[in-house]
Structure 1
Amino acid sequence: MANTQFPPNKQTITRLQGTLDSRKKLKKSQYIWYLFLAPTLIGILLFMAYPILESLRLSFFNSNGTIESFTGLNNFKRVLTSQNFWNAVWNTFYIGFFQILITVPLGFVFASLINNVSRGQNFLKVIFFLPNVTSIVAASMIFAFVLHPEMGIMNFALAKLGLPTSTWLSDPSTAKWAVILLSIWHWIGFVIIICLANLQSISSEMYEAAKIDGASGIQQWLFITIPNMSGTFAFLLITGWIGALQRFNEVYVLGGPNGSPARSIQTMGAFIYERGFTGFEFGIASAATYIMFMIILIFTFINLKVSGMKI
C-alpha cells in the first residue's frame, strides 16, 4: 500500500492550489474564445438557421407574404405536378451534365500540359483561374453582349470565317449551349487548379520506375496519372453537380426568371425565384426549395456511392 502523508504538507497544498488556479484561468480564457465566436454563431442563427426553418414552415402554408392559410402537403403536390417545374429540372440536369462532361476532362488535359511546362506555370495558373474569380453576373452580361445576334462578337467572327451565324439566346435549341459555354469558361480554372494540385502530389519515383521499365509518356499518363487522379475526379464530379443543381445567377441574367426563350434555360433555382418573388407564392417556392434540396441530397449520395468516396 502506498505511503500517503496526511495531513498533506505545505508543498503539496501549494502544488494543488497552483493546479486549481491554472484550471480556473484556462476556463476563463475559454470564455473569451466563445465571445469571439459569438458574432459568427449569431449570424448563422439569424441568416441561415432561421430562414431554413421559416421556409419549412411556409411550405405547408398558402402565403403571399402577408396572408397565410394552412394547406398541408398541397404545395408539394402542386410543385410535383407542375410541368414547368419538371421542365426546370430537365434544364438543370441537361446544362449540368454537359458542363461537367466537357469541363472535367478538358481541365485535366490543360492541367497535365501546364504541369509539364518548366517556365511560366504560375502565369498560366493565373490566366486560367481568372474567370473563376470574376463575378458570374458580370460574366453573364458580357456573354449576353458577345452572343447578341446582330452586334455580338461571336456572329461577327463566324460571318468572317464564312460559317453560319445563330440567334443564340433567342433560339431554345442554342440557348442551353450558350449557358453551357459560359459555365465551362467560368469553372474550368477551378478544375485546372485542383487537378494541378493532385498532379504535383504524385510521387516522381513512380514515373522513374515506369521509365526504367520502358513505359512511354502516354502509357505513364494512362496507367499512373489517371488512376492517381480518381479521388480528384470524384471530388470535382460531386462539387460540380452540387453547383450545377443550384444554378441561378447566369440563367437569370441571360433569360430572366422564366428562362426565356420559351423556358429553355429556366433551372430549379430560377423556378423557385419566379414563383416566390414574381408570383408571390412563397408557399410554393418554399416547397420547391425542399424538393430541390432532396434532389441534390439523393444525387450527391448516388455520386458518393458510385465514386467510392467516404464522408
Structure 2
Amino acid sequence: MLSKPSQKNMVNDVIRSKNSKRSQLIWYVFLAPAFLGILCFMVYPIIESLRLSLFNSSGTGGTWAGLDNYKTVLSSGDFWRSVYNTFYIGLFQMIITIPLGFIFASMINTVSFAKNFFKVIFFLPNVTAIVAAAMIFTFVLHPDMGLLNYFLGKLGLPTPLWLSNPGTAKWAIILLGVWHWIGFVIIICLANLQAISSELYEASTIDGASGFQQWLFITIPNMMGTFAFLLITGWIGALQRFNEVYVIGGTTGSPNRSIQTVVAYIYEHGFTGFQFGIASAATYVLFVIILIFTMFNLKITNMKL
C-alpha cells in the first residue's frame, strides 16, 4: 500500500499533467487561425499556381499542357525584355542607393546633434505609399504641366518627354526607387555603424590613423555583412517590382515595353490576357531567378546558408 504522502504526490502529478495539456491545447487554439491563414493564403496559392502552370487555363478548368507554358515563356521576346528591364532598373538603383545611403549614414553618425531629425527626414519617403510616390513623379515629369519641365523652360533648357522616351523612362523609375529606398538603407547602415566597437577607432587614433583611414579600414570592412543583406533584399525587391511600373507605364510598361518588369509581364498575361497557365509558368521562372540570385549573393559575400 502507498503511503498517504505518496498518494497525494501522485494526485498532484496527474493534476499538473492535465493542466499542462490544457495549457498546450489553448496555445494550439490561438495558433490555429494563423496556421489556417498560411495554408489558405500561402501554401494553397503556391500549389495551385504550380498546377496552373501545367495547364492551358483561363482561370476555370483548362486542358493539360505539360511544359508548353514554360517553353512559351522562355521563348518569348517580351518576357526576356521584361527580365532585362528588371535587372537594368534594379542594378542601377542599387549602384546608386547603397553607396549613397552608406555615405549619408556615415555623415549622420558623426554629427552630435539632431540625429533623430535626420533619420526621420531621410526615412519619410520609405513610409510613403509607392503608388502615391509614383503618381507624384508622373506629375513632376509631365511634359506640359510637370514641375521639372516648367523650371527647365524658365532656364531656357530643353524640356524632354521624360516618360515617352524609353531611356529616360527607365531612369525615372530608377530615381523613384532611389528616393523611396534610400531611407531604409540609411537606417540599416546607421544601426550597424553604431554597433562597431569604439575601441577600434580609439586604438587606430593612437596609431595615428586619420578619419578617412578609419572609415576605409575599420568602418567599411565591418559593414560587409550589412552590404550583403542590402544586396539580397535589394535584388529580391527589384525582381518583384510592379506598383510604380504599373502606375507610370501600365501593364505593358509603356513606352514600347521599356519599363515592363517580370511581375508586370505576369500581371499582363494573367489578369489582362487571362492566360493563367503562362502567367503561372512565368511566376515559377521568376522564383528560380530569385533563388539563383540569392544564392549567388550569399556566395560572393562569403555567407553560408
Q: TM-score range by the shorter chain?
A: over 0.9
2: CA distance, partners of 1:70 / 1:165? 53
> 1:304 corresponds to which letter in structure 2?
L
Structure 1 residues 176 and 35, CA gap change in structure 2 (3 angstroms) = same
1: CA distance, partners of 2:91 / 2:151? 28
Bigger mean CA offset, 85-94 vs 11-20:
11-20
Residue 180 of structure 1 and its aligned partner are, at CA, apart by: 0.2
Q: 1:17 aligns with which of 11, 18, 35?
A: 11
Partner of 1:95: 89
2: CA distance, partners of 1:133 / 1:121? 19
Q: Percent identity?
A: 69
1: CA distance, partners of 2:10 / 2:203? 61
Cα deviation, 1:84-104, whole Å, max 9, x if unaligned, reads 000000000000000011100
> 1:42 corresponds to which letter in structure 2?
L
- TM norm structure 2: 0.97
Partner of 2:257: 263
1: CA distance, partners of 2:184 / 2:293? 22
> 1:269 corresponds to which letter in structure 2?
V
> 1:9 corresponds to which letter in structure 2?
S
Cα deviation, 1:246-287, whole Å, max 9, x if unaligned, reads 111110000000000000000000000000111110000000
Partner of 2:136: 142
2: CA distance, partners of 1:111 / 1:163? 34
2: CA distance, partners of 1:12 / 1:308? 60
Q: Does 1:43 align with 2:24?
A: no
2: CA distance, partners of 1:67 / 1:40? 30
Partner of 2:166: 172
Structure 1 residues 177 and 14, CA gap change in structure 2 (3 angstroms) = same
Partner of 2:247: 253
Cα deviation, 1:34-60, whole Å, max 9, x if unaligned, reads 111111111111111111111110001
Q: Does 1:31 align with 2:25?
A: yes
2: CA distance, partners of 1:264 / 1:202? 43
Q: 2:224 aligns with which of 227, 230, 233?
A: 230
RMSD: 1.1
Residue 9 of structure 1 and its aligned partner are, at CA, apart by: 2.8
> 1:184 corresponds to which letter in structure 2?
V
Q: Does 1:124 align with 2:106?
A: no
- TM norm structure 1: 0.95
Bigger mean CA offset, 258-267 vs 10-19:
10-19
Residue 16 of structure 1 and its aligned partner are, at CA, apart by: 3.3
2: CA distance, partners of 1:162 / 1:180? 26
Residue 302 of structure 1 and its aligned partner are, at CA, apart by: 0.7
> 1:179 corresponds to which letter in structure 2?
I
What SS does structure 1 have at the residue aligned with 2:163? Answer: helix
Q: Does 1:239 align with 2:233?
A: yes
Q: 2:193 aligns with which of 190, 193, 199?
A: 199
**Structure 1 residue ranges without an equivalent (≥5):** 1-6
2: CA distance, partners of 1:103 / 1:191? 7
Cα deviation, 1:6-38, whole Å, max 9, x if unaligned, reads x54322332233233212211111111111111
Bigger mean CA offset, 101-110 vs 161-170:
161-170
Partner of 1:291: 285
1: CA distance, partners of 2:202 / 2:109? 16
1: CA distance, partners of 2:162 / 2:48? 40
1: CA distance, partners of 2:25 / 2:304? 35
Structure 1 residues 151 and 89, CA gap change in structure 2 (3 angstroms) = same
Partner of 1:4: none
Residue 67 of structure 1 and its aligned partner are, at CA, apart by: 4.6
2: CA distance, partners of 1:147 / 1:245? 25
Q: Does 1:278 align with 2:272?
A: yes
**Structure 2 residue ranges without an equivalent (≥5):** none
Q: Matches of residues 65-104 of structure 1 in structure 2 within 5 Å?
A: 65-104=59-98
> 2:222 corresponds to which letter in structure 1?
N
Partner of 2:127: 133
2: CA distance, partners of 1:101 / 1:225? 19
What SS does structure 1 have at the residue aligned with 2:27? Answer: helix
